[in-house]
Structure 1
Amino acid sequence: MRPLNDAHVVEPGLAVVEVAAADGETAFAVQELLASRWVIAPADRTTHEPGEPGVRLRCFLDLRQRSDA
């Protein structure tokens, strides 16, 4: 995954969430859970590092805003 950009966590309430899961379906389910409660910038794909188990997904969360979902 790319390094974090300072802008993603420049203010209190902003967070970067990295999910490690066995498969993409599980990773996206966790993302959906987060999106049901807070505003997020969702990921549209997972990544897999060769030689590492499972997949990773990174999304950006704004705890200052509740989701309407």
Structure 2
Amino acid sequence: MKPINEAHVAEPGLAVVEVAARDDRTALAVQELLATLCAIAPADRTTREPGEPGVRLRCFLDLRQAPDTGAVDADRSGTRP
């Protein structure tokens, strides 16, 4: 994964979350849970590091904003806006 840069956490309330999970389904479920709590810039996919177990996912959170419930609901139905 690319390094986290200063712009990602430039203000209070901004955060970067890296999820390490056994499989894609688990990592994406964690991301969906985070999206119910705050505004999120979700990852489109997980990544695999050669020689390391499981998958990784990085998403960006903005705790200053409410979650986009439309995106979460659309994601649950299998379509994205």
TM-score range, shorter chain: over 0.9
RMSD: 0.8
1:40 and 2:53 matched = no
Higher relative contact order (CA 8 A, sep 6+): 1
Give the structure-1-normalised TM-score. Answer: 0.96
Higher strand content, 1 or 2: 1
Give unmatched runs, 5+ long, in structure 1: none
Return the letter of the residue paired with 2:38: W
TM-score of the superposed pair, with normalisation by structure 2: 0.82
Runs of 4+ off more than 2 Å: none
Aligned residues: 69
Name the structure where helix makes up a greater proportion of residues. 2
Long gaps (5+) in structure 2 = 70-81
Largest Rg, 1 or 2: 2
